[in-house]
Amino acid sequence: MIEVKNLCKSFEGREVLKDISTVFEDGKTNLIIGQSGSGKTVLMKNLVGLFEPTSGQILYDGRDFVAMSKTEKVMMRREMGMIFQAAALFDSLTVLENVMFPLDMFSSMNYRERKKRAMDCLDRVNLVGAEKKYPGEISGGMQKRVAIARAIALNPKYLFCDEPNSGLDPKTSLVIDELLHSITSEFNMTTIINTHDMNSVMGIGENIVFIYEGHKEWQGVSAEIMRSTNKRLTDFIFASDLLKEMREAVTR
Ligand SMILES: Nc1ncnc2c1ncn2[C@@H]1O[C@H](COP(=O)(O)OP(=O)(O)OP(=O)(O)O)[C@@H](O)[C@H]1O
Ligand SMILES: [Mg+2]
């Protein structure tokens, strides 16, 4: 569980995150949604320690992350898996070497154990057979799955994904969503996903935090969105006329 308490972040006096308090739960796919520029990436970067909050607390199962020393933060990061933007694989490494990379860096396993662990992770994302290929030789959806395998290699308790579906077609996005959802419950991880994707919101949104201009405007589960009367939320979700009609049909 990750608790965020009164988190604020400013850049040169400009407030980007305004007093955000929320809880991200274990075993759940927690989604952060909001318009472009609302602060989703900045929030996630604060959570993982890439940005320092201006004020506020971030508690990882009760452990105060903001107050930790640099060394303690590095230790905490080993409990986190991250999938940031365009898969960010190493182009000069094979698929297998990409997944082994965090194990090479941070585990005390020998080569055989590391290779086995990496192959198990590749198996989990259905990529056995692709281990000798280079990122440039596989599709975008496969690259995302490699990134997921790499992110779970060290068995993280917390998984962060910033727009995991960007650049993917709807069907492949669904595969990625289902994968993130199933590994989250399987390993009881606290998973946080930044997304624009309404299919993801409806499909795997077990706890949804809606950010509007840097503050938390709404929080709930996907089923509640359909009936919400929060205009900022419904304007954001039901931006298209077709979706508006569907909503009216449901709420009539
Ligand atoms: N390093 C930085 N320095 C100054 N301002 C920043 C910095 N990073 C982000 N911002 C500002 O913070 C605001 C929120 O940006 P952020 O990237 O979090 O939006 P987002 O919700 O992730 O948008 P998108 O959906 O487009 O990814 C923006 O106005 C952005 O310009
Ligand atoms: Mg972003």
Exposure b/e, 79-112, CB count within 10 A at least 16 = b: bbbbbbeebebeeeebbbbbbbbbbeeebeeeee
Nearest ligand atom owner, CA of 37: 1
Give the number of the atom of ligand 1 that is nearest the alpha carbon of residue 214. 14
Closest Cα to atom 24, ligand 1: which residue? 36
Between the CA of 5 and the centroid of ligand 1 the distance, in Å, is 20
Helix, coil or strand: residue 192:
strand
Give the number of the atom of ligand 1 that is nearest the alpha carbon of residue 11. 4
Between the CA of 19 and the centroid of ligand 2 the distance, in Å, is 19
Tell me the sheet residues that pair with 9.
Answer: 17
Give the number of the atom of ligand 1 that is nearest the alpha carbon of residue 12. 4
Exposure b/e, 211-243, CB count within 10 A at least 16 = b: bbebbbbbebebeebeebebeebbebbbeeeee
DSSP tag of 211: E
Closest CA to 40 of 193, 158, 191, 181: 193
Structure pTM? 0.91
Task: Show pLDDT as tens, one digit a residue, over the chain (252 residues).
Answer: 999 999 999 999 999 999 999 999 999 999 999 999 999 999 999 999 999 999 999 999 999 999 999 999 999 998 999 988 766 899 999 999 999 999 999 899 999 999 999 999 999 889 999 999 999 999 988 998 999 999 999 999 999 999 988 888 888 888 889 989 999 999 999 999 999 888 888 889 999 999 999 999 999 998 898 888 899 998 888 876 666 677 677 776
Between the CA of 53 and the centroid of ligand 2 the distance, in Å, is 17
What residues line ligand 1, using a CB cutoff of 6 Å? 11, 16, 34, 36-42, 196
